[in-house]
Amino acid sequence: MTNSNKLFRWRSPYDLKGTEGLFAAAMAENARFQAQHCPDYARILREQGVTDLTDPLSLPPLPTLYFKRHALFSLPENKFLIKATSSGTSGSMSRMAFDAGSLLRGLAMVWRMTRYHHLLSPVPCHYLILGYQPHRGNDTAFSKTGYGFTFFAPALSRTYALVWREGSYQLDLEGLRRRLLRCARGPFPIRTIGFPAYTWLLLSQMEKEGIHLKMPKGSKITMGGGWKQFEGQQVEKAELYRLAESVLGIEEKNCVEFFGAVEHPILYTTCKHHHFHVPVYSRIVIRDPDTLEPVPNGTPGLVNLMTPMARSVPILSVMTDDLGILHDGGTCGCGIESPWLELLGRVGAKGLVTCAAGAADFLKGGGDV
């Protein structure tokens, strides 16, 4: 069995100490594969003068911006089972594709993580998806992962906020509201899936209308896609948890958030204190925006995400344009001992220039970055 497969089948999803050596070996294995099968990756290693692949920290972190401008594949197209693009305006999307082996590792991870966080349930439920109804031609990762999340518990129904009608997507908040009112009288739990901003929008609208429901036991609010849409609105997470309790009767401990990216398809799930702990499948390094050198835990910087999950694309170390802080393991108090990531949001225009300049520096000769 390869080191990557061993890592993704590790029994305890937050055993970072126990997997330190295995993680480095799996990263080296993946880096060797990318160097052999992806000419662009081999060139970047050469230009960076990276010859020792055994230290994950020394592997060049490729900016997400780079993937938005270049499609880099390390396997022939007939090996791809899933193609996905990141959400965004057309022309600035990352194109990713995943082969069977990468997807199987992903599935093993989803199985362990959802079981650990009590998200797998045999009790059927009604899903309210605050996102796009899947439709041919909509390849964004959100519509795929959003749909994927409706398999954690058997689905009795799926109600979408954005429905495909007569050739375009239309917002149907009324349909969601009707479904919620009906579910409150039924025996089966509900699960909402969507951006925190959409969740907040729906709940605050319902509160304004004086709606206060008690959803059946086992109901959950699950959110993904980050808080970016809140910029300028300044909605605090605490306010959203209050709304969940007040409008739907769903307790704060049943509000769960996910984090991941098409360029880093790792499922981060919040603990009971709403923190994203680092699972065995990845490591997070925070880097100084100017020098790109790693900074100590507790210091803000650019978030560099590493995972050996995918073979089909060289996404083993990606540099996001998110700012974050990595907190020491053991400081959360929830019982999970691994470090946790606090996301501070996107770098501003000025920061992005710095980041892009840093990236362009080590990708010089790499085309149009």
Closer CB to Zn ion, 33 or 340, in the complex: 340
Closer CB to Zn ion, 327 or 346, in the complex: 327
- The reply to whether 273 sits near Zn ion by the rule CB under 5 A is yes
Closer CB to Zn ion, 113 or 197, in the complex: 113
Among 59, 250, 271, 318, binds Zn ion (CB under 5 A): 271
Q: How many CB atoms lie within 10 A of CB 272?
A: 15
Smallest distance from Zn ion to CB 344, Å: 18
The residue assigned the tokens 């849409």 is 229
Distance, in Å, from the CA atom of 23 to the CA atom of 101, rounded to the nearest integer, reads: 17
Smallest distance from Zn ion to CB 117, Å: 11
Smallest distance from Zn ion to CB 86, Å: 27
Closer CB to Zn ion, 271 or 341, in the complex: 271
In degrees and rounded to multiples of 5, residue 258 shows phi and psi of -115, 155
CA distances (Å), origin 296, targets 61, 234, 280, 290: 18, 28, 20, 15
Closer CB to Zn ion, 9 or 117, in the complex: 117
Stretch binding Zn ion (CB under 5 A), from 17-25, 42-50, 76-84, 332-340: 332-340
Of 183, 139, 177, 135, nearest in space to 157 by CA? 183
The region, left, alpha or beta by phi > 0 then psi within -120 to 50, assigned to residue 218 is left
Smallest distance from Zn ion to CB 154, Å: 29
Torsion of CA 19, 322, 111, 28, to 10 degrees: -40
- The reply to whether 243 sits near Zn ion by the rule CB under 5 A is no
Residues in binding contact with Zn ion, number by CB under 5 A: 6
Restricted to residues 104-143, the positions that interact with Zn ion (CB under 5 A) are none
Among 332, 341, 359, 363, binds Zn ion (CB under 5 A): 332
Smallest distance from Zn ion to CB 279, Å: 12
CA distances (Å), origin 25, targets 176, 307, 363: 47, 11, 25
Closer CB to Zn ion, 220 or 275, in the complex: 275
Q: For residue 78, what are its two tokens?
A: 């007939």
Closer CB to Zn ion, 14 or 80, in the complex: 14
Smallest distance from Zn ion to CB 333, Å: 7
Stretch binding Zn ion (CB under 5 A), from 2-10, 20-28, 178-186, 274-282: 274-282
Smallest distance from Zn ion to CB 276, Å: 9
The residues binding Zn ion (CB under 5 A) are: 271, 273, 275, 332, 334, 336
